A = this chain, B = another copy of it.
């Protein structure tokens, strides 16, 4: 029995979030959107994947998925699983399309949507949530899913196998622990730049009441405003809870160091994206200067080669991965193993639309099979747009509960796709 992917459907789905100031920061103000991909098959289940975009331009990533779709249509799930790197490279190293990246931006995000849809399909066919499906794969098969080209100077297949083998020890105990307690998270819903002080205070108080002990605020506006809002949050959450800051790349390197010297007053746990996301050497300088405040980045890190360098340079105290900025689960596996090799905890980026649904699986797999410690590990949580998913995230007391439906939790409700399709859905007409 084999399952053939017979067609790739692409939907341009956009949610009008910009008008409320949700998701506003020093750089972005978006209508959270998804380039949503459905793989139809001859076997019943469909594979669902998407990449997240910020509104305008979602048609560009849709065009990129169309340009790559011929590498997927007509393939069987079994042949993809048998030669996963060959399949992955057919998308990421197409001899004509690679030029448009290479391995970055629109074309890489589109590859990620397709790769993730295949993983959703594989997990559904195995009748397992993706985290469980991955955690149960033999070490050799996990290693075979990783393209080690361009990262062997930092991580070899043998080193990866050794990390994954060690991850088998105590796996059942860690799984039972998560089933009982859930996975730690933090919330970013309290401190968007677009929110007035009173709203920040009220949201912080509410989040604390719901159990969250780690909150993230946006910085990068006027320093006095950043400090005032930070003091409000710190006053609400007390000295023991974690306060993280996110500058969304707005500062220059020296400016980041100067501003953080002031913001250190409120004892931030990390500063996220203090400068341009491509600036490995800049992040390394900042990390040295702002310690013990940790530097975090990764939500727009283009690929595994960028993560490799951030780790080699000692630039990261916390590594943030994104589920759909890179080319899907295969590349994330490489990133999780690189982080483990360098001893840096992974705290996935989420929010937007569907990112929480995606990354919970990756964080859980990371803990179960790669990182094996919860210290310093938490998943971002933003309370937006979950209602559009068939299997939305569930949280309790500031923790993610284990997803139990088959697949990657990436399937969107048909009525949401129809209503928010751009430009012809009723929400946009």
Contact = CB atoms under 8 A, between A and B. Distances in A.
A253 interface: yes
Given A30-B99, A278-B305, A150 B252 contact: yes
A226 interface: no
A97 interface: yes
A95 B29 contact: yes
A269 to B, nearest CB: 25
A149 B151 CA distance: 30
Contacts of A108: 105
Contact of A278 (B57, B60, B255, B306): B306
Contact of A303 (B59, B278, B285, B312): B278
A150 B98 contact: no
This chain: how many copies in the complex?
Answer: 2
Interface string A23-51: 00001111100000000000000000000
Interface in A74-99: 93-99
Contact of A56 (B97, B101, B106): B97
Most B-side CB within 10 Å, residue of A28, A101, A102 = A102
A281 B313 contact: yes
B31 A96 contact: yes
Contact of A104 (B28, B94, B302): B302
Nearest to A285: B153
A427 interface: no
Given A53-B99, A55-B96, A59-B63, A153 B282 contact: yes
B96 A101 contact: no
Contact of A109 (B100, B275, B300, B313): B100
A278 B252 contact: no
A152 interface: yes
Nearest to A57: B97
Contacts of A94: 56
Nearest to A254: B153
A131 to B, nearest CB: 27
Most B-side CB within 10 Å, residue of A54, A56, A278, A308 = A278
Interface in A250-298: 252-255, 275-282, 285
A64 interface: yes
A102 B301 CA distance: 9
A61 interface: yes
Most B-side CB within 10 Å, residue of A109, A152, A277, A280 = A280
A309 interface: yes
Q: How large is the interface on A (under 10, 10 to 19, 20 to 34, 35 or more residues)?
A: 35 or more
A204 interface: no
A421 interface: no
A158 to B, nearest CB: 14
A249 interface: yes
Contacts of A153: 252-254, 282, 285
A67 interface: yes
Given A105-B100, A105-B108, A281-B280, A95 B64 contact: no
A252 B98 CA distance: 18
A57 B61 contact: no
B105 A61 contact: no
A425 to B, nearest CB: 18
A56 B60 contact: no
B63 A150 contact: no
29 contacts: A18-B96, A27-B93, A28-B98, A30-B95, A30-B99, A53-B100, A54-B96, A55-B96, A56-B97, A57-B64, A60-B67, A60-B106, A63-B63, A99-B300, A100-B109, A102-B277, A102-B300, A103-B278, A104-B104, A105-B107, A150-B253, A150-B275, A150-B279, A151-B252, A152-B252, A153-B282, A276-B305, A279-B309, A281-B312
